[in-house]
Structure 1
Amino acid sequence: MEIIDLTKTVSDGMPVYPGDPAVNIGMATTVKENGYEVRSLRMGSHTGTHVDAFSHMHEGMASLGDIPLTQFCGKAMRVTPTMELPNRIGLFFATEVREDVLEKILAASPPFVGGALSEELESLLLKNQIVTYTDLEKLEMLPIGEAFTFFGLPLKIKNGDGSPVRAIAVVGE
């Protein structure tokens, strides 16, 4: 079994989507002065590697707490837009995909989709109650067409429209 970390490191001042809150990480306490170390974190809910709730782009749709945890983990596969998509497992696209593959994705009924998604496709997937993952890294380490187990659990944020995640792929089980 191998665990592949698909998560970008969150760091002070890291790049964010235009208009999103800046990332500020500071020291709140230190071991030397307080006997323990604590950092203060200030960032948007869509910072770094993150998951999007349906409410992120569609008013009145489900927020993170309303979506079953089973939609944030499970069997998945790295795919290309031209291949036949497996049914009812998570899909991670090896190349950028646009809204012209929406019908193909919907026919496969994935619980979640990730990779280089256009904003238009992301919005359409969320509207169809498919969770989306953004800003994943090291997807190229996953072989195309081979199943793995994915975990990308969000923080439990009240009315959360999205959340940073620690995204991992478990391969060779």
Structure 2
Amino acid sequence: MVSIKGIYDLSVSIRTYMPVWPTNPLPDIKPVGILSRDGYNAEFMQTATHTGTHVDSPYHMLESNITVDQLDLGKLVGYGYVVRPKFSGTEITASDLAKVWRSEYDGSIILIETGWWKKRAFTKEFLYDFPGLSFDAGKFVVEHKVKTIGIDTLGIEPYNHTDFAVHKLLLSNGIYIIEDLSNLDQLVEGKKYLIVALPIKLQGASGAMARVIAIEEG
């Protein structure tokens, strides 16, 4: 019988005016129900679907009818690992990934920790200079049949990759993308976890916010 030794929350807390993708509107959360006045508490939220920790669907970047509510949950719930490649500049290359790769990573969910989540702020560095996968690293991920790839930055590829070639490569090969992860330092590199990354079921949407957790089994 499998027991649960630990549950690790890898998600960003959504809050009013938090740092998000530079061209997206800032989220705004307001109370619409106040306990002392209305007998209950409730909030109204206005935000982009790609706010905080979120999952990208193929529809986000491709001429595809696979929207976030149509994603294969078998790719978003499964065993996976955190990796911490060493890199220079803003590109994580195939060579960088190869140096930390193990055969058991093939076909699993992979979460990349760069440490960027610790820099969260309204700074040029956090918003524009974050690292991401180079195109050859994207091909490496495809070749190793990764189910879902996640990263702790605002994008899977650097901000100046305006053609979104890595997004398109991954999504066209059926690899889902999780962006803006947090707290990845809780996980041990090379240790297998049960990863659960379930986006909100927004019909027809290109992506949606998700509560992403890693479960350590006994």
- TM-score over 0.5 (shorter chain): yes
> 1:65 offset after TM fit, Å?
2.0
> 1:98 offset after TM fit, Å?
2.0
* TM-score scaled by length of structure 1: 0.92
Structure 2 residue aligned with 1:109, among 139, 145, 151?
Answer: 145
Q: Counterparts of 2:63 and 2:19 in 1: how far apart (Å)?
A: 27
Q: Counterparts of 1:31 and 1:129 in 2: how far apart (Å)?
A: 46
Structure 1 residue aligned with 2:186, among 141, 150, 162?
Answer: 141
Is 1:84 matched with 2:102? yes
> 1:94 offset after TM fit, Å?
3.0
Q: Counterparts of 2:183 and 2:166 in 1: how far apart (Å)?
A: 22
SS at match of 1:153: strand
Structure 2 residue aligned with 1:157, among 170, 193, 202?
Answer: 202
- CA RMSD in angstroms, aligned pairs only: 1.6
Letter in 1 for 2:167: E
Letter in 1 for 2:80: A
| Contact 1:87/1:109 (8 A) holds in 2 | yes
Aligned to 2:34: 30
Q: Counterparts of 1:47 and 1:102 in 2: how far apart (Å)?
A: 23
Q: Counterparts of 1:98 and 1:157 in 2: how far apart (Å)?
A: 30
> 1:132 offset after TM fit, Å?
0.3
Letter in 1 for 2:196: F
Is 1:41 matched with 2:41? no
> 1:61 offset after TM fit, Å?
4.2
> 1:106 offset after TM fit, Å?
1.2
Q: Counterparts of 1:59 and 1:4 in 2: how far apart (Å)?
A: 35
Identity across aligned pairs (percent)? 25
Is 1:17 matched with 2:24? no
Q: Deviations over 1:133-163 (max 9, x none)?
A: 0000111221111110111101111112101
> 1:126 offset after TM fit, Å?
1.3
* TM-score scaled by length of structure 2: 0.74
1:139 to 1:122, Cα distance in 2 relative to 1, 3 A: farther
Give the total of aligned pairs. 173
Letter in 1 for 2:71: I
Consecutive aligned runs of 4 or more in structure 1 exceeding 6 Å deviation: none
| Contact 1:98/1:120 (8 A) holds in 2 | no
| Contact 1:94/1:144 (8 A) holds in 2 | no
| Contact 1:112/1:130 (8 A) holds in 2 | yes
Q: Which runs of 5+ in 1 are unaligned?
A: none
